[in-house]
Amino acid sequence: MSTSYAIIIKPYAQRHYIKNFEKKYKGAWDVTWRAVVEEFKRIDSLLQISIASEINDRDNIKICKTEFRVAGTKESRKSSGNRCIIAINKEIGVIYVLLVYHKNDLGNGNETAAWKNMIKENYPEYRNILTL
C-alpha cells in the first residue's frame, strides 16, 4: 500500500529556481507544478518507475531526484533537464521539496556534485545523509 504524503516546499527552493520557472512558463507552470505535487503525494509509486531515483536513505529520510516536463512542451521528462530534489520523511509522511531546477541552472560540470553541494550548504539537516 502506498502512503499519501504531505508536500512542503522549502523557502530556499521557492526563492531560487521555482521563481525562474514561474516567470519563464507563466500559466503552464501552475499546471505543471500541480501535477508534480500530485505525483509526489504518491512517491512510492513514482520510485517504482524511472521518473524518480533514490539517492540516499538514512535515518528514516530518503533523498531522491525526480524529473519532470513543463506542460505544453514537446520534450520528454528526461530530455527536458528539469529536476527536483526531495527529502522524504516516511516516519511522519512528509516530502520536503529542496530544489527545483533545470540542469543548466547549476552551471557547467557535474550536476550531481553541484546539487549535493547546494543541499549541504542550504540544508544542514540533510548534510549527513548525503555524506557516506
38-72 pLDDT tens trace: 989 888 887 777 667 677 777 788 898 998 999 98
85, β-bridge pairs: 65, 99
pTM, two decimals, is 0.89
- Other beta carbons less than 10 A from residue 128's beta carbon: 13
With cell 522549502, the residue in question is: 10
Predicted local confidence at residue 42, as pLDDT: 85
Mean pLDDT of 15-32: 90
**Choices 3.30.2310.20, 3.40.228.10, 2.40.30.10, 2.130.10.10: CATH for 6-130:** 3.30.2310.20
Predicted local confidence at residue 105, as pLDDT: 87
